[in-house]
Amino acid sequence: MSDNEDNKKRRPLKSMPPDGFPLKTGLIWVAIILAIAAIFWLNPPKTPQPAVLNIQRVVEFAQEGKIANGYIRSDATGGRDWSVLTGETTEPILQNSAGTATKAFTATGRLTDSNLEQLQKSKVFIEKPATTAMTQLLYNVLPFIVVIGLLYFLFVRQLKSAGKGALSFGKSRAKMLTRDKDRITFSDVAGCDEAKEEVSEVVEFLKDPKKFQKIGGRIPKGILMVGPPGTGKTLLAKAIAGEADVPFFSISGSDFVEMFVGVGASRVRDMFEQGRKNAPCLIFIDEIDAVGRQRGAGLGGGNDEREQTLNSLLVEMDGFDTQEGVIIIAATNRPDVLDSALLRPGRFDRQVSIDLPDIIGREQILRVHARRITLSDNVDLGVIARGTPGLSGAELANLLNEAALLAARRNKKKVEMADVDEARDKLLWGLSRRRVMDDAEKRLVAWHEAGHAVVQAVLDDGTMPVHKVTIIPRGQSLGSTTYLPTKDILTRPKKRLLDEITMAMGGRIAEELVTGDFSNGAYGDIKQATRIARAMVCDYGMSELGPIAMGENQDTVFLGRDITRSQHISEDTARKVDIAVSDILNSQYKRCETIITEHRTALDKVAAALLEHETIEGRHVLEILKHGEIKSPIVSVRPPKLPPADAAKPADKPAPESAAGHAGSPEPSPA
């Protein structure tokens, strides 16, 4: 299938208004055609004026055979015997009042029985029913009714049903989620036990408000959920409504802000009015920083529409009481930019922090999302949780989904552990690319990654063992060394930071020891080591300069980060900082060089195993260091060949500045 055909199939459908019918182009053309037809009906093309005759003359023409066709119509308005004769002659033998020769004629008068009998004998006259006043009225008025009704159906009703008309422009766009469909409870939310405990009393209040009112307790008016993207803020708000079994209104902060001043404030008032009508209920405002940003900040003053909307929100939150059963829940990942008036007690009384899940929380999240996926018996969710530090709940759900898609592409009936590992590597470091290196570059990358693996295995104290070493290119790196922490690392002592710098130097030293030359493969390693060393000196106080923070910057939040800086150290101190950073890097470089020299034999064997198998596990590195050879079997991790459509795609060229690298930071998540 070509790319164009594929894009056509995946092209999104045209948007439709929330209510009513879509404004189809075909209906517009129908309206135009009917309008044109009505115009021609009411204003037919001008024809020559007929000649006016008497009935006797018409009877004579009929007897002589000069009538081509004719019609007899009784006119009830003129009397019982009053008739109208119309028709045409065979030739233009008549003249109208304008003196023009014509075939058409008309005659009006009383038609006797003998005349009627003679006209019927000619067999050219046809009798028509009588024309009444009501028939004439309908004939003239019906086209107008049809055209006006069609225009009303197409335009007026369409604007009203779409909710975008002038009358509904200031209405709230909050969507009410039904309680019977897609109900979410606390059992569907994992990894944030403390946050669930914080909001559990809100559920109790919505179920039994008198329990708190008897002792004078007042439930918070508003709850602000703060946390990184993907941690489950919206999901937790839906779970509160599901547990309490109350209506749930959801709206985004950007839905309030419009080009016209006053529209957002009107929508805020309408939203609270809807909440009062459906009390008890929950109103959830996602990304509240879009409307709740600090007023009067930034270049060029503030935004009148956004500030008026915020003022209306502040007044409405002060104007209602929680006794009505309306609770506001908002979510943001930028609490630092919110206006202080929005965070004071009486508005958003409570802030619930939802952070990235720990190792236990990640395993619980994986178990929740694994309910919909058929997993093999060899899938250990605890091992997956250990290998995904720093990942949010949304990223963990995406990990299992990618593993299921990968297993389906390989025609498997269950998701295996190898599929999960492949999906994790794909999400964290990118797709594998197998046709970007020749043999010479592959040997260079093998020595580079062997250097990282040997140094990490020697320095590891049991908390960060080597998990996997590979020379399969992924993303912008041509190889990677990953390690699997046995627990979440919350603090990083000086010894561990120095070990990280030493391990980062392992690839460069291994290249120099084998080839006698350097490559740009250590670009990312050197950058990471320098960043750690500078943080040790300037932020952590881990140098001879003492416990002094010298990296403080005053960033202007509303202008962008790192735009304005305030330098608080002198030039002499800055020179000392550079010397201290250089001393740390040079000392760890020498330390790494000593380790690799002492374990040169292990380095060679690890590199040889990588060249043969492309990927080896951390236990194989430990076996080489301990026994001098690999004892356990190496399971091939080469994925089976994909369909030709995927295999035929050309591989991307690697970035020249990051030819090889190592992975395995305690925070591997790109987020």
**Judging by beta carbons within 10 Å of its beta carbon (0-12, 13-18, 19+), is residue 400 exposed, middle or buried?**
buried
Tell me: is residue 209 an annotated ligand-binding position: no
Give the span between the Cα atoms of 64 and 228, in whole angstroms.
Answer: 101
- Residue 8: enclosing H or E segment and its boundaries? helix 3-9
Give the span between the Cα atoms of 524 and 655, in whole angstroms.
Answer: 12
Tell me: is residue 25 an annotated ligand-binding position: no
Residue 82 CB coordination number (10 Å): 15
Q: Which of 345, 392, 305 is nearest to 224 (CA)?
A: 345
The crossing angle, in degrees rounded to 10, of helices 439-459 and 618-627 is: 70
User: SS3 for 95?
Assistant: strand
Tell me: is residue 228 an annotated ligand-binding position: yes
Tell me: is residue 229 an annotated ligand-binding position: yes
Is the CB of residue 275 less than 8 Å from the CB of residue 281?
Answer: yes
CA distances (Å), origin 254, targets 55, 247, 291, 346, 478: 80, 22, 7, 24, 42
Tell me: is residue 231 an annotated ligand-binding position: yes
Tell me: is residue 525 an annotated ligand-binding position: yes
**Residue in this structure with the two tokens 């593993």, named with its chain if needed:** 403
Give the span between the Cα atoms of 548 and 565, in whole angstroms.
Answer: 18
CA distances (Å), origin 38, targets 29, 31, 152, 387, 533: 14, 11, 16, 74, 84
Tell me: is residue 448 an annotated ligand-binding position: yes
Give the span between the Cα atoms of 610 and 616, in whole angstroms.
Answer: 7
Tell me: is residue 131 an annotated ligand-binding position: no
* Active-site residue identified among 198, 243, 449, 617: 449
Give the span between the Cα atoms of 633 and 338, in whole angstroms.
Answer: 57
Give the span between the Cα atoms of 260 and 127, in whole angstroms.
Answer: 67
End-to-end CA distance of the chain: 34
48 cis-preceded (ω within 30 degrees of 0): no
Question: Dmax of the chain from CA atoms?
Answer: 137
**Is 316 part of the annotated catalytic residue set?**
no
Tell me: is residue 568 an annotated ligand-binding position: no
Is the CB of residue 434 less than 8 Å from the CB of residue 647?
Answer: no
Question: Which two three-digit tokens encode residue 509?
Answer: 């030293």
Q: Which residues are catalytic?
A: 449
Binding-site sequence positions for ATP: 227-234
Binding-site sequence positions for Zn(2+): 448, 452, 525
Binding-site sequence positions: 227-234, 448, 452, 525
